[in-house]
């Protein structure tokens, strides 16, 4: 029976194997100095020659980004780790049903652990990393000192594994340490993004230029989308200029993929949301009686105050199943468009062709639009039909000619500003920073974060870059105040989406922070400590983050929400820990009989069955938020993940009858404890039983 490897993948060896497939002469074998084992290795001299059309001699001048520690950072990003994630029910909300995750631990470890379960699965990565101002703490990854105990003794790590050091601008490695920290994490995070995924990074002036170069290297210069300016307010105490802004650097995982999908980013204009909400209310009252809905909507428009922003959109007074709409010209923009017959559904004769030709490039596309109900015919064929432009466009309404004709002119030719009541965002936006500070103070009952990101702006951004997405994954691996989690709640509640989040936060000690800060920052830390002491929770930052998510979830579902949202405001709490499997520290010639007896059970004694289950989910690359059902089968506890997607039993004394019963359910995967069978005979027969009763099942042990 095959055994699960129970550690994160060794990406360097996988990458070398890919090179071997392409250029076998460039890969050789070399002995690992640490383990003494033979491993694949690259002959870089030969590789350079293979990739050159001339003889390669010595270093060549070239455009590149370099700093001390860059190579080590890449090695760290690719190196496997023998760690796992353990579940914590009592700290979670709706553990059994939620699709959201809050993971506590070093974010580099977490990113590595999630590589297989969420490879190419994340739609949005948003991070707000330490800004490297000379006063902040950053993660420091030790390359030269692998010994955990030495790292703790030297003060580089705390006993819980936290890796934070003060990055003073007087240090010789001030920029290098920050770059190495970011490089390793961005390199691994890129693997999680979907082909049409987007990463957004908040940054200030100190490292903005370095971050841009780093992002160019990791994601590719051609995948740069925009650098937004987030103005947060004037600083009247500035000596020279008031620098109250930050940046939001946006890159696509693959800009070509975004373009091929014809993904167009737009957001609703002021007032459009009010019209949609009124339509939803009327639809709930009258169902598909669109004439009555139209009459009531017209009266609603007329009753609005003159200054109301929705007054501008009163032309959206017609209604169908896709919402309020108005008529638009169906002719080719600019003239000289295609000409073909469009048959009137009543008269059966070809409709009059617009002078500029049809808007749609082919008769096939025109028929597609007609079948979608997006073309409205006149009473007869003597006039061309017109298009429906909905106030909240459906994805199928977009076509290339339509997109090209959209204008940014605020006073378009017909008095409206764009094709729909939507707009493209500019690269500059303003939101006073104190708004989010005051909101969070009211929510938490105290000022527990000094500079939280505005969750409303983040919610707008999430919705903006997911125009055709109903349930994408949003990840933030510098969770901090957990603004991103609340932003996901708000976006879902407002727009009826069902995005889910993965938040990652290091359990930074608040007591250590209290002793190392002064002024306002110290008071903020003290307020957070006071909050946690009331609830009896550990005095670490991640606990404050979780509390913010709990409170914001309750606040959001207590307000009017779009009916399309499932109202999932829960989250599963998982924590990084050492592997569930016992470590082996002895060479074969140093092992005694007592050591062999201790090795009979390869699982640590303090680990529960559910701990083992989550390590199996990681190892098998299964989504960590799938529903888990626990049943008792023939006296043994058995876990069923997402129905029969995975079945696991980690108890001892597994009999052949139990194996046959599990095989009868024909699971996709099944896993047992290696020493959990009642006899060696049963263990030997397991694969044969499944081969007979459920040949499609993948059988493994731990």
Look at residue 75 and tell me if it is in a domain.
Answer: no
By DSSP bridging, strand 318-320 and strand 323-328 are antiparallel
Q: Which of 209-218, 391-400, 534-543 has the lowest mean pLDDT?
A: 391-400
> What's the pLDDT band for 253 if we cut at 50, 70, 90?
very high
Q: Tell whether the model's pLDDT for residue 164 goes beyond 50.
A: yes
Residue scoring higher pLDDT (373 or 189): 189
Mean pLDDT of 506-530: 90
Is 366 strand, coil or helix?
helix
- Whether 200 and 320 share a structural domain: no
- Whether 245 and 306 share a structural domain: no
Residue scoring higher pLDDT (383 or 403): 383
Is 352 strand, coil or helix?
coil
CA gap 21, 25 in Å, rounded: 10
Is 41 strand, coil or helix?
strand
- Whether 35 and 95 share a structural domain: no
Sign of CA dihedral 118, 76, 109, 208: negative
Q: Which of 425, 700, 620, 443 is nearest to 8 (CA)?
A: 620
> What's the pLDDT band for 256 if we cut at 50, 70, 90?
confident
Is 180 strand, coil or helix?
helix
User: What is the residue-averaged pLDDT of the chain?
Assistant: 85
CA gap 328, 413 in Å, rounded: 12
> What's the pLDDT band for 59 if we cut at 50, 70, 90?
low
Q: Tell whether the model's pLDDT for residue 169 goes beyond 60.
A: no
DSSP state of 351: P
Look at residue 522 and tell me if it is in a domain.
Answer: yes
Angle of helix 656-664 versus helix 680-693 axis, rounded to 10: 20
User: Which residues contact residue 602 at a Cβ distance below 8 angstroms, ignoring those fewer than 6 apart?
Assistant: 581, 582, 674, 675, 702
Instruction: Please name the residue that has the structure tokens 């030495």.
Output: 150
Look at residue 195 and tell me if it is in a domain.
Answer: yes
Tell me the per-residue pLDDT of 523-577, one tens digit each, with 9 for 90 and over.
Answer: 999 999 999 999 899 999 999 999 999 999 999 999 989 889 999 999 999 999 9
Q: Tell whether the model's pLDDT for residue 409 goes beyond 90.
A: no
Strands (E), 494-635: 500-505, 572-578, 628-633
Q: Tell whether the model's pLDDT for residue 297 goes beyond 60.
A: yes
Q: Does residue 537 contact residue 65 with C-beta atoms inside 8 Å?
A: no
> What's the pLDDT band for 152 if we cut at 50, 70, 90?
very low
Look at residue 450 and tell me if it is in a domain.
Answer: yes
Q: Does residue 16 contact residue 41 with C-beta atoms inside 8 Å?
A: yes
Q: Does residue 162 contact residue 508 with C-beta atoms inside 8 Å?
A: yes
Give pLDDT, residue 131: 81
* Residue that terminates a domain, selected from 355, 387, 420: 420
The Cβ of residue 533 has, within 10 Å, a number of other Cβ atoms equal to 10
Give pLDDT, residue 141: 63
Q: Does residue 627 contact residue 620 with C-beta atoms inside 8 Å?
A: no
* Residue that terminates a domain, selected from 420, 441, 467: 420
Q: Tell whether the model's pLDDT for residue 418 goes beyond 60.
A: no
Mean pLDDT of 479-494: 96
| Rounded (to 5) percent helix, strand, coil in the chain | 35, 20, 45
Q: Tell whether the model's pLDDT for residue 138 goes beyond 80.
A: no
DSSP 245-296: EEEEEEEES-HHHHHHTT----EEPTTHHHHHHHHHHHHHHHTT-HHHHHHH
Tell me the per-residue pLDDT of 323-334, one tens digit each, with 9 for 90 and over.
Answer: 999 999 999 988
Mean pLDDT of 576-598: 62
Q: Which of 1-15, 135-149, 179-193, 618-632 has the lowest mean pLDDT?
A: 135-149
- Whether 118 and 234 share a structural domain: yes
Instruction: Please name the residue that has the structure tokens 């007032």.
Output: 271
Look at residue 586 and tell me if it is in a domain.
Answer: no
Instruction: Please name the residue that has the structure tokens 């006899």.
Output: 679
- Whether 49 and 144 share a structural domain: no
Q: Tell whether the model's pLDDT for residue 159 goes beyond 60.
A: no
Q: Tell whether the model's pLDDT for residue 270 goes beyond 80.
A: yes
Specify the pTM.
0.81
Residues in the chain: 702
Q: How many domains does the chain have?
A: 4
CA gap 460, 567 in Å, rounded: 18
Instruction: Please name the residue that has the structure tokens 């001299």.
Output: 45
Look at residue 69 and tell me if it is in a domain.
Answer: no
CA gap 344, 366 in Å, rounded: 13
The Cβ of residue 472 has, within 10 Å, a number of other Cβ atoms equal to 22
> Would you call 261 exposed, middle or buried from its count of C-beta atoms within 10 A (0-12, 13-18, 19+)?
exposed
Residue scoring higher pLDDT (79 or 630): 630
Q: Does residue 693 contact residue 664 with C-beta atoms inside 8 Å?
A: yes
Q: Does residue 87 contact residue 611 with C-beta atoms inside 8 Å?
A: yes
The Cβ of residue 105 has, within 10 Å, a number of other Cβ atoms equal to 23
Give pLDDT, residue 408: 33
Domain that holds residue 57: 8-62
- Whether 557 and 678 share a structural domain: no
Share of residues in the chain with pLDDT > 70 (%) = 85
Give pLDDT, residue 168: 55
- Whether 172 and 54 share a structural domain: no
Q: Which of 131-135, 357-361, 611-615, 692-696 has the lowest mean pLDDT?
A: 131-135
Residue scoring higher pLDDT (474 or 152): 474
Is 361 strand, coil or helix?
coil
Mean pLDDT of 224-253: 87
Q: Tell whether the model's pLDDT for residue 173 goes beyond 60.
A: no
> Would you call 313 exposed, middle or buried from its count of C-beta atoms within 10 A (0-12, 13-18, 19+)?
buried
Give pLDDT, residue 337: 92
> What's the pLDDT band for 340 if we cut at 50, 70, 90?
very high
User: In DSSP terms, which residues pair with 326 in a beta bridge?
Assistant: 389
* Residue that terminates a domain, selected from 390, 420, 450: 420
Q: Tell whether the model's pLDDT for residue 73 goes beyond 90.
A: no
Q: Considering only CA atoms, give the Rg of the chain.
A: 30
Q: Starting from the edge strand earliest in sequence, which strands make up the sheet with 101-104, in order?
A: 83-87, 572-578, 101-104, 500-505, 473-476, 122-127, 193-203, 245-252, 224-231, 428-430
Q: Which of 10-14, 57-61, 96-100, 632-636 has the lowest mean pLDDT?
A: 57-61
Is 196 strand, coil or helix?
strand
Tokens at residue 685, please? 């027969």
Give pLDDT, residue 411: 35
Q: Does residue 661 contact residue 634 with C-beta atoms inside 8 Å?
A: yes
- Whether 124 and 258 share a structural domain: yes
> What's the pLDDT band for 264 if we cut at 50, 70, 90?
confident
Mean pLDDT of 45-63: 70
> What's the pLDDT band for 246 if we cut at 50, 70, 90?
very high
Q: Tell whether the model's pLDDT for residue 660 goes beyond 80.
A: yes
Is 609 strand, coil or helix?
helix
Q: Tell whether the model's pLDDT for residue 145 goes beyond 80.
A: no
> What's the pLDDT band for 44 if we cut at 50, 70, 90?
confident
Domain CATH code at residue 499: 3.40.50.150
Q: Tell whether the model's pLDDT for residue 517 goes beyond 60.
A: yes
Query: What is the three-state SS of 630-671?
Result: EEEECCEEEEEECCCCEEEECCCCECHHHHHHHHHCCCCEEE
CA gap 682, 672 in Å, rounded: 12
The Cβ of residue 379 has, within 10 Å, a number of other Cβ atoms equal to 9
Look at residue 112 and tell me if it is in a domain.
Answer: yes
- Whether 258 and 196 share a structural domain: yes
Give pLDDT, residue 416: 41
Residue scoring higher pLDDT (642 or 28): 642
Look at residue 639 and tell me if it is in a domain.
Answer: yes
- Whether 297 and 169 share a structural domain: no
Q: Does residue 172 contact residue 516 with C-beta atoms inside 8 Å?
A: no
Q: Tell whether the model's pLDDT for residue 644 goes beyond 70.
A: yes
- Whether 442 and 415 share a structural domain: no
The Cβ of residue 225 has, within 10 Å, a number of other Cβ atoms equal to 17
- Whether 557 and 666 share a structural domain: no
Q: Which of 208-217, 412-421, 461-470, 542-551 has the lowest mean pLDDT?
A: 412-421
The Cβ of residue 85 has, within 10 Å, a number of other Cβ atoms equal to 25
CA gap 214, 24 in Å, rounded: 31
> What's the pLDDT band for 149 if we cut at 50, 70, 90?
very low
Residue scoring higher pLDDT (290 or 599): 290
CA gap 170, 263 in Å, rounded: 46
Tokens at residue 118, please? 């969420």
């Amino acid at each position: 029976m095959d055994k699960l490897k129970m550690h994160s993948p060794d990406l360097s060896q996988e990458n070398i194997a890919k090179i071997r497939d392409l250029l076998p002469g460039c890969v050789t074998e070399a002995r690992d100095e640490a383990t003494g084992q033979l491993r694949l290795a690259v002959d870089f001299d030969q590789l350079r020659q293979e990739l050159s059309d001339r003889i390669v001699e010595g270093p060549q001048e070239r455009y590149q980004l370099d700093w001390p520690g860059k190579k080590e950072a890449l090695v760290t990003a690719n190196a496997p780790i023998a760690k796992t994630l353990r579940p914590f029910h009592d700290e979670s909300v709706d553990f059994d049903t939620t699709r959201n995750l809050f993971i506590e631990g070093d974010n580099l470890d977490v990113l590595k652990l999630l590589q297989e379960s969420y490879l190419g699965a994340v739609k949005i990565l948003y991070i707000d990393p330490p800004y490297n101002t000379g006063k902040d703490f950053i993660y420091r990854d030790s390359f030269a000192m692998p010994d955990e105990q030495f790292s703790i003794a030297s003060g580089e790590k705390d006993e819980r594994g936290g890796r934070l050091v003060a990055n003073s601008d007087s240090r010789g490695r001030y920029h290098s340490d920050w770059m190495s920290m970011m490089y390793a994490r961005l390199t691994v995070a890129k693997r999680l993004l979907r082909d049409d995924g987007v990463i957004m990074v908040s940054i200030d002036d100190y490292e903005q230029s370095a971050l841009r170069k780093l992002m160019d290297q990791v994601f590719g210069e051609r995948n740069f989308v925009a650098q937004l300016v987030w103005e947060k307010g004037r600083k009247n105490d500035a000596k020279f200029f008031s620098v109250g802004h930050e940046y939001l650097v946006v890159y696509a995982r693959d800009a070509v993929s975004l373009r091929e999908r014809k993904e167009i980013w737009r957001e609703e204009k002021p007032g459009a949301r009010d019209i949609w909400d009124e339509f939803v209310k009327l639809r709930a009252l009258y169902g598909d009686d669109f004439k009555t809905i139209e009459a009531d909507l017209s009266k609603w428009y007329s009753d609005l105050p003159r200054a109301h922003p929705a007054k501008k959109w009163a032309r959206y007074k017609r209604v169908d199943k896709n919402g309020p709409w108005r008529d638009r010209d169906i002719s080719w923009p600019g003239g000289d468009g295609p000409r073909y017959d469009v048959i009137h559904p009543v008269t059966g004769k070809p409709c009059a062709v617009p002078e500029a030709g049809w808007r749609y490039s082919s008769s096939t596309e025109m028929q597609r639009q007609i079948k979608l109900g997006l073309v409205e015919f006149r009473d007869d064929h003597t006039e061309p039909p017109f298009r429906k432009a909905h106030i909240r466009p459906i994805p199928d309404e977009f076509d290339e000619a339509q997109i090209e004709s959209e204008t940014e002119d605020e006073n378009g030719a017909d008095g409206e500003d764009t094709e729909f009541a939507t707009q493209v965002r500019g690269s500059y936006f303003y939101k006073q920073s104190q708004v989010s500070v005051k909101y969070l103070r009211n929510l938490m009952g105290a000022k527990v974060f000094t500079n939280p990101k505005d969750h409303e702006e983040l919610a707008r951004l999430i919705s903006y870059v997911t125009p055709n997405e109903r349930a994408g994954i949003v990840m933030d691996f510098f969770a901090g105040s957990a603004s991103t989690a609340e932003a996901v709640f708000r976006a879902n509640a407002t727009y009826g989406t069902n995005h889910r989040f993965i938040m990652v936060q290091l359990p930074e000690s608040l007591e250590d922070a209290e002793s190392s800060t002064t002024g306002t920052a110290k008071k903020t830390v003290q307020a957070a400590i006071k909050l946690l002491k009331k609830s009896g929770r550990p005095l670490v930052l991640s606990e404050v983050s979780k509390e913010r998510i709990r409170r914001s979830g309750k606040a959001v579902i207590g307000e009017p929400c779009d009916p399309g949202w499932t109202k999932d405001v829960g989250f599963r709490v998982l924590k990084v820990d050492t592997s569930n499997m016992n470590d082996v520290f002895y060479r074969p010639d140093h092992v005694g009989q007592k050591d062999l007896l201790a090795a009979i059970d390869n699982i640590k004694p303090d680990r529960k069955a559910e701990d083992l289950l989550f390590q199996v989910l990681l190892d098998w690359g299964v989504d960590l938020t799938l529903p888990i059902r626990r049943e008792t089968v023939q006296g043994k506890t058995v876990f069923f993940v997402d129905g029969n997607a995975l079945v696991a039993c980690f108890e001892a004394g597994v009999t052949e009858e139990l194996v046959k019963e599990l095989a009868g359910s024909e699971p996709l995967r099944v896993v047992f404890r290696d020493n959990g069978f009642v006899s060696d005979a049963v263990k030997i027969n397991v694969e044969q039983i499944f081969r007979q009763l459920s040949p499609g099942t993948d059988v493994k042990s731990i």
